Structure formats: structure tokens, C-alpha cells
């Protein structure tokens, strides 16, 4: 059996930077607390925890003493304004690893909100409700934007007023196009609808690449954490190109039966999937063959 790891799968720029930042701070002897999982992959989170990076929630911030060497790490997804206020209020030192692409989108959200408030319009964010990046975006503008996950969420939008549509960075291009077309169709004045495709090309570019990769394999093993948003999008891309695609979180889920009659396996993953984990998956598949 031949097992190939997709050369474009694995951490995106934003995740690599956040993890490197955490590792640097640990090497400097800092006490590092990641505000939420630094990456949507439990095994990578466990690896970082073994180095000393503790994962905390917002509710834990009040329990952390403002010591000189303490650093609260803001992960690539970014945070709402209120988090920075809490950190400053508690005199907690922090390291901001918000991905520059997300930071730019936060600034655009503020600008969109300003424009819409001037004309009585609404900002629409295509994104997953409750996802950290979306909470961070809407938290730049006191939650005035309406978060749209699917077409049905457009019910109740005032289409007689101007609208500004943008997207969480990890949404699918196809869904964005569908929502954009529907917004324009329903709007009483489509010329007053501003559309900004703010999907990160680190993710979007991978959809097409993964479809081609999946087509070349007898079977695809997609590795990603259950909480990964772009993992769902990218797995869907694999599955649409090759129905013999499975999604796993760890090599422990693999069984010999899965590979019966398979000669050519492709291993790939999300932007939050560590390369070392895909290597473990490849090695496990090769051992299954023996
Ligand atoms: S997917 Fe794009 S926007 Fe999101 S963290 Fe990675 S590089 Fe940044």
C-alpha cells in the first residue's frame, strides 16, 4: 500500500505564528496561559501543555495573579475588545498572536459598522455563531452585526436598508457565493449592498487542491480535531471528490478493515492539523499493512 501525505496540508501561517509565540514565551521562562485552545486540535494542545502552556477560559481570567512573568496568549482567532479591557483591568500581561489576516478583518468590520451606522444599514457576517473568530469580529462593534450561518438566517434582515456582507476567514467560497447571491436577490437596492469576500486564501486555496489530491487516491484519511471549522470545509471538499474519504482525530481510530482492497491512501488535514500527527497516521497505516 502506498501512503502519501498531502504537501499542502497542515498548519496555516496564523497557527504556526501563535504556536511559535507560545513556545518562545515558554523558552523565556514565562508562565503562559492560552485563552482558549491555541489550535483546534486536542493532540497539539496536549503537546503544548506538556511544555507548560496552560489552556484557560475567559471565566478563569479573574483567578490569575498579575505576576511579572505571566503572559495571557491571545490566539490566532483574535478576541473581542472586551477581552483587552479585562486584561488591562486585571493588569495581566498578554501576548497578542491574532493572525494578521484576522486583525485586518477586525479593522474592516469596524469600518463596515461605521459606514452602516451612518446610513441605517446592517453588517452581515457569514460565520459560525459562537466561533471564537466571529465572537472577536462582532466584539469589535459591540455585537451589532448579524451573524449568518445559512440562508435561513437571513430571515428578519431588513432588505430595504443598505447591507455590508463579509465573512469569517474559514468559511467556504461556495457558501459565501450562495449567501451573497441571495442577499443581492432579496435586497430592494442591490447597489447599496457592499460585499467583501474576506475568506482566507490559506484555506480557500486548499479546497481545490484537496479535491485534486483526493481524486488521485483510492482512499483519503483526513485528520483534524472535531472543533476545527476549516476542517469541516476541507473534509467536505475531499469527500465530494472522493466518497471513500474518512475523517479521524487520531491514529487510534484506524482499523485494518478500513483499508481492505485499498492500494493508494492519501493523508491530509486542516490548517490546525500538526504535520507530526499526519506522519503518525501514515506510519500507523503502513504498520496495519504489515
Ligand atoms: S486560516 Fe488564514 S486567517 Fe485563519 S489563522 Fe490561518 S492564516 Fe490566519
Q: Which atom of ligand 1 is nearest to 170's Cα? A: 1
Query: For residue 259, which phi and psi values (nearest 5 degrees)?
Result: -110, 10
pLDDT value of residue 240: 96
pLDDT value of residue 229: 78
Q: Known catalytic residue: 133?
A: yes
How far, in Å, CA of 275 to CA of 21, rounded?
Answer: 18
Q: Which atom of ligand 1 is nearest to 18's Cα? A: 5
The set of cell numbers assigned to 268 is 491530509
Look up the CATH number of domain 101-195: 3.40.1010.20
For ligand 1, mutation pick of 79, 98, 136, 200 (most atoms within 8 Å of CB): 200
CA-closest residue to ligand 1 atom 2 = 200
CA-closest residue to ligand 1 atom 5 = 14
pLDDT value of residue 205: 84
pLDDT value of residue 228: 82
The set of cell numbers assigned to 91 is 493588569
pLDDT value of residue 203: 78
For ligand 1, mutation pick of 8, 10, 12, 166 (most atoms within 8 Å of CB): 12
Pick the catalytic residue from 44, 79, 133, 207.
Answer: 133
Strands (E), the chain: 2-5, 31-35, 54-56, 70-74, 94-96, 122-126, 146-148, 163-167, 193-195, 219-223, 245-248, 264-269
The pocket around ligand 1, CB under 6 angstroms, is made up of: 12-15, 76, 99, 101-102, 169-170, 200, 202-203, 271
| pLDDT tens digits in sequence order for the chain, 290 residues long | 999 999 999 999 999 999 999 999 999 999 999 999 998 889 999 999 999 999 999 999 999 999 999 999 999 999 999 999 999 999 999 999 999 999 999 999 999 999 999 999 999 999 999 999 999 999 999 999 999 999 999 999 999 999 999 999 989 889 999 999 999 999 999 999 999 999 998 878 888 999 999 999 999 999 998 888 789 889 999 999 999 999 999 999 999 999 999 999 999 999 889 999 999 999 999 998 65
Q: Is the pTM of this model over 0.85?
A: yes
3-state secondary structure of 239: helix
- Listed in order, the ranges of the chain carrying CATH 3.40.1010.20 are 2-9+201-289, 101-195
pLDDT value of residue 290: 53
Non-local (6+) Cβ contacts of 219 within 8 A are 242, 244, 245, 246, 258, 259, 262, 264, 265, 266
pLDDT value of residue 75: 96
Q: Which CATH architecture has domain 13-99?
A: 3-Layer(aba) Sandwich (3.40)
Strand-pairing partners, residue 164, are 123, 194
Q: How far is the CA of 288 from the centre of ligand 1 (A)?
A: 34
Q: How far is the CA of 269 from the centre of ligand 1 (A)?
A: 15
Q: Which atom of ligand 1 is nearest to 230's Cα? A: 1
Q: How far is the CA of 91 from the centre of ligand 1 (A)?
A: 29
Q: Which CATH architecture has domain 2-9+201-289?
A: 3-Layer(aba) Sandwich (3.40)
Q: Which atom of ligand 1 is nearest to 200's Cα? A: 2
Q: How far is the CA of 120 from the centre of ligand 1 (A)?
A: 31
- Listed in order, the ranges of the chain carrying CATH 3.40.50.11270 are 13-99
**pLDDT tens digits for range 172-210:** 889 999 999 999 999 999 999 999 999 998 878 888 999
Amino acid at each position: 500500500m502506498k501512503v502519501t501525505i498531502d504537501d499542502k496540508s497542515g498548519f496555516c501561517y496564523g497557527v504556526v505564528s501563535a504556536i511559535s509565540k507560545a513556545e518562545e514565551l515558554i523558552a523565556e521562562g514565562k508562565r503562559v496561559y492560552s485563552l482558549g485552545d491555541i489550535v483546534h486540535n486536542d493532540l497539539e494542545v496536549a503537546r503544548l501543555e506538556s511544555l507548560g502552556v496552560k489552556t484557560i477560559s475567559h471565566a478563569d481570567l479573574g483567578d490569575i495573579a498579575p505576576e511579572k512573568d505571566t503572559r495571557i496568549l491571545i490566539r490566532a482567532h483574535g478576541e473581542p475588545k472586551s477581552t483587552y479591557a479585562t486584561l488591562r483591568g486585571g493588569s495581566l500581561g498578554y501576548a497578542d498572536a491574532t493572525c494578521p489576516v484576522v486583525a485586518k478583518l477586525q479593522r474592516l468590520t469596524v469600518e463596515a459598522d461605521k459606514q452602516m451606522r451612518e446610513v441605517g444599514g446592517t453588517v452581515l457576517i457569514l460565520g459560525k455563531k459562537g466561533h471564537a473568530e466571529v465572537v472577536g469580529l462582532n466584539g469589535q462593534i459591540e455585537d451589532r452585526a448579524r451573524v449568518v450561518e445559512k440562508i435561513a438566517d437571513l430571515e428578519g434582515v431588513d432588505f430595504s436598508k443598505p447591507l455590508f456582507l463579509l465573512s469569517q476567514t474559514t468559511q467556504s467560497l461556495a457558501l459565501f457565493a450562495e449567501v451573497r447571491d441571495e442577499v443581492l436577490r432579496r435586497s430592494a437596492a442591490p447597489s447599496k449592498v457592499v460585499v467583501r469576500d474576506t475568506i482566507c486564501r490559506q484555506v480557500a486555496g486548499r479546497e481545490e487542491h484537496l479535491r485534486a489530491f483526493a481524486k488521485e487516491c483510492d482512499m483519503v484519511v483526513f485528520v483534524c480535531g472535531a472543533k476545527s471549522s476549516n476542517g469541516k470545509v476541507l473534509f467536505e471538499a475531499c469527500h465530494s471528490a472522493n466518497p471513500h474519504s474518512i475523517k479521524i482525530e487520531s491514529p487510534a481510530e484506524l482499523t485494518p478493515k478500513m483499508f481492505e482492497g485499498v492500494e493508494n491512501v492519501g493523508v491530509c488535514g486542516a490548517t490546525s492539523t500538526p504535520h507530526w500527527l499526519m506522519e503518525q497516521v501514515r506510519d500507523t497505516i503502513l504498520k496495519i499493512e504489515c
